Amino acid sequence: MHSSQSSASVSWRKTFWTKLPGAQAGVLGWTLLGLLSLALVGCAAASKADEEALAARRYQERLAGLDISLPVTRAPFDEIHVEWKERLDQAYVYREYQGDYRQVHSALRSLINAARARKLKRSGPAFVLYYDDPGEVPVAELRARVCLTVEPGAAAIGDWKADRLPMATVVYAVVAGPLHNLPRVYPSLFAYLGKFGWVENGPIREVYLIEPGSVSNDEWLMSEVQVPWRAGN
């Protein structure tokens, strides 16, 4: 029975196409092909939209899990929100970096990827410590540490050294968006220090609350910039 139905179906299709004038058959064929293409495009668009919606939901969940008590600063930086707080001490491993600060975020991404490959157990977000003022130190001599937060007592790993970030009082701002925009808040942080007569007391720290590579859109990155301070003389 199945074989008979299959033969009849093939025969019907053959009769249908051979009896159509050539032009009509061609038009019908192209029409069917166009409809199929549209259906495939529609499915792909729907799939992409679903993926984007899922990514957006996950991003909102991550935002809800962050402990941010300060209004977030965003482009175009018409208003920059600055406050001060006590920063807790923190164990970390790091790689030394020397050179152009504009390239340090590439070193950061490399370290994050290496940590994944090594399956390093981390206890918090990555961060960078900047030790020099680019206005006073030659570009080739600028020093930084590219750091990963770990549990206390973690040992050095290969060329990664271990250290502990001391407790400090810091002025800070929380910034959304691409990492290259972070220096836009530096002048406001130092102006806040000057307002109270405080002076910088340690390396500037950029903390990547939502790290590069963890989201599909750099506008979703979230960072905190900290400047340690002490009272002026």
Are 36 and 92 within one domain?
no
CATH number at residue 129: 3.20.80.10
Nearest to 181, CA basis, from 33, 58, 72:
72
Q: Kindly state whether residue 90 falls inside one of the protein's structural domains.
A: yes
**Stated pTM of the model:** 0.75
- Domain termination site, one of 63, 91, 108: 63
pLDDT tens for residues 185-202? 999 999 999 999 999 999
Q: Kindly state whether residue 143 falls inside one of the protein's structural domains.
A: yes
Are 113 and 185 within one domain?
yes
Mean pLDDT for 21-42 is 63
Between 197 and 6, whose confidence is greater? 197
> What does the block give as tokens for 3?
């074989």
pLDDT tens for residues 56-94? 676 666 666 677 889 999 999 999 999 999 999 999 999
Number of domains in the chain: 2
Are 110 and 186 within one domain?
yes
Q: Kindly state whether residue 93 falls inside one of the protein's structural domains.
A: yes
Distance set, CA 202 to CA 67, 90, 91, 150 (Å): 24, 15, 16, 21
How many Å apart are CA 110 and CA 93, to the nearest integer?
14
Residue 21 domain boundaries: 2-63
Distance set, CA 230 to CA 1, 134, 169, 170, 196 (Å): 92, 22, 7, 9, 10
Q: At a CB cut-off of 8 Å and minimum separation 6, what does 165 contact?
A: 87, 89, 90, 91, 92, 129, 147, 205
